[in-house]
Structure 1
């Protein structure tokens, strides 16, 4: 997933989705992946807090107080001659002074999105949900988002009848519509194309909840989007 979103560590290219977006809760349109930076800071601050509290149950805290701080505090300790790891720990202490916990609590949240209900469920296939997530965000690498001299941006699926874009692929494209017709005939898939954004809104309202049939329709919808893109 890292290489797909950010082209890998050894190649240049634009990221499809920002890390901030990825780390948002699913209800806010993210993947709910925890920020490694915040987790690391939280774990270090937990140890700092134990030092500040002079935790009597911790042998490590007792050692730090006696052999490292030597009756000083983390605020007055001179880190010039301290080991590298200790310097990092003391540096993190500045986050407490800056009111990190308060700032995190007061940080504005993104608005909830209804379409997050389309992701997941009993029949979910992660790679299908992932492509659907990118499609809803409009972050797939469609031709209309590419800029290069003499680039043919026409859709190859329908013989170049229109420019390839998210709204065209899902499901203005004649090829995509034929796929839907076959699907509707085979499994009675309840679908009426209204335009991509309206389709997503309708599906997220219609197929919500844990009902087995709704979960199957959500998985089927994700597989259609994945199949057209892949």
Structure 2
């Protein structure tokens, strides 16, 4: 199972990446370009480096989407339904029970819900606009 990385870990990863990229480029110790600009796509003047916070949230949202779709072909999703969602749905599961990674994943429900569009009944899809 994948899990949401703690903010401290992500900040340390970014710090090491910045150090690697900026090493030897500035005698003052300050980077010449803001990190937000470096993370922009190349077409927008950046270096195309992925935002680790956004990337981690996107990957966790993909796992959560598999649970919402009830994709029982995944062993992990099947386990979630047998253990974590035995007596409730993904929308009513309490986010104060279970492992840390599961609780953090449940916090993404509301973000993902704003991108789900229903077409009557159980016919729904995810719109990323």
Q: Under TM normalisation by the shorter chain, which class is it? A: 0.5 to 0.7
Alignment of 1:193-208 (within 5 A): none
Alignment of 1:210-225 (within 5 A): none
Secondary structure, counterpart of 1:38 in structure 2: helix
- Greater RCO, CA 8 A, separation 6+: 2
**Partner residue of 1:82?**
98
Does the aligned pair in 2 maintain the 1:6–1:15 contact within 8 Å?
Answer: no
Does the aligned pair in 1 maintain the 2:95–2:107 contact within 8 Å?
Answer: no
Q: CA RMSD in A?
A: 2.7
**Partner residue of 1:28?**
44
Q: Are 1:73 and 2:89 an aligned pair? A: yes
**Structure 1 runs of 4+ off > 6 angstroms?**
none
**Partner residue of 1:40?**
56
Structure 1 92/16 Cα, relative in aligned 2: closer, same or farther at 3 Å?
farther
Which 5+ residue runs of structure 2 have no aligned equivalent?
A: 1-16, 117-125
Q: Are 1:63 and 2:99 an aligned pair? A: no
Q: Which has the larger radius of gyration?
A: 1
TM-score by structure 2 length?
Answer: 0.64
Does the aligned pair in 2 maintain the 1:25–1:32 contact within 8 Å?
Answer: yes
Q: Using the alignment, how far apart are the partners of 1:50 and 1:36 within structure 2? A: 21
Larger fraction in helix: 1
Secondary structure, counterpart of 1:32 in structure 2: coil
Tell me the number of residue pairs that the alignment of Structure 1 and Structure 2 aligns.
99
Larger fraction in strand: 2
Shift of 1:16: 3.0
TM-score by structure 1 length?
Answer: 0.38
Alpha-carbon displacement from aligned partner over 1:112-141 (angstroms, at most 9, x marks no partner) = xxxxxxxxxxxxxxxxxxxxxxxxxxxxxx
Secondary structure, counterpart of 2:107 in structure 1: helix
Which 5+ residue runs of structure 1 have no aligned equivalent?
A: 8-12, 106-230
